[in-house]
Amino acid sequence: MKFLLFVFTLFSHTTFAHFPENSLSYPVGAKSLRGISESEFHQVIDKVMRIYAPKIEALGGTLNISRSWANDKVNASTNRFAHVYQVNMFGGMARHPMMTRDGFTLVLCHEIGHHLGGAPKVKNTDQRWASNEGQADYWATLKCLREVFWDEDNAEIVKGFQIPQVVRKGCADVYQTELETLICERSNMAGLAVGKLYASLVDQNPPQFETPSSKIVRETSDHHPHFQCRLDTFFQGALCDRPLDEELSNREASVGTCHPINGDKIGMRPSCWFRTE
C-alpha cells in the first residue's frame, strides 16, 4: 500500500480534494459530539466497494479505497494512475462533529463520481479522465446514493430526520414509490450535512434548500462550487428520476441526466456551475 501511494504521489498530475484546504485536525481519540465511528467508517466503504469495484473492473480498472482512519485531515480525495481508480478517505473528516454516516457516504460517492460521473469532464489536458466537481456532486445523488441506500431500512432511518418541507414536496412530486421518495429525502439530508460541514470550514452560515444560489455562470466551471451551489446540485441530482441503470456519457452531458434538451423541467444541474449549451 505504501508503494502504491508513493506511485500516485510521484506520477499523478492532480488530486481532487473534496473540501477546501483547511488546517482542522480530528485525531483518533479526539472528543467529538458526533461524527462516525471507526466501524461505521469501514462499513460504508465496504458497501460502496461491493457495488462499484465490479463496475470499475468491467471498465478495465481497479478501485482502490485507502482507509486512512488514523489520518486526522478533514478531507477526502481521489486520483487515477493508469488502471487504478484511487480514492482516499480520511478519519479526521469522519470524526468531524458535523459528519454523519450518510454524509460520509455522500463524500465517498462524490470521490467515485470523479471516475464514473460522466460529462462534463475537467477541461485541463492532464485531468480529462475526471468528471468535474459539480458533476461528481450531481452523480453522487443521481446514481450512487440511490444504489447504496436501495436495500436499507430507509423508512426507519428517515424517521430520525427533520426534513424541510421543500424537500418533502420535491421528492413526493417526482417519485411514485415510497422507497424512491424516502431515498430522495435521505439523500438530501446527507447533502445538507456535507453542506453544513463545508460552510463551517469557511466560517459562514450553512446553506438552505429554501435559498438556492442565484449565480449564473457564463461557462461550465470545473472548480468547487460554493457550498450553497453544491447543496442545490445534490438536491437536483436527487430529483432527477432517470432510471438507475441508464448509462451516462463521457461526452454528452444530456445523456442519462435531466437536461432541457430532454424536455426536463426539474432535476437539472444548477446554473451556478453548469452552463446549458
How confident is the model at residue 33, as a pLDDT? 66
pLDDT of residue 55: 98
The per-residue pLDDT for 17 is 78
The single-letter DSSP state of residue 131 is B
257-264: Cβ within 8 A, 24+ apart = 257/118, 257/138, 257/142, 264/240
Positions in the chain whose pLDDT score sits under 70 = 1-14, 20, 32-33
Burial class of residue 82 (count of CB atoms within 10 Å of its CB; 0-12, 13-18, 19+):
exposed
Can you say whether the dihedral through the CA atoms of 229, 233, 234, 235 is positive or negative? positive
pLDDT of 25: 84
Other C-beta atoms lying within 10 Å of the C-beta of residue 249: 12
What pLDDT was estimated at residue 14?
A: 58
Look at residue 32 in the predicted model and tell me its pLDDT. Answer: 65
pLDDT value at residue 124: 78
pLDDT at position 97 is: 92
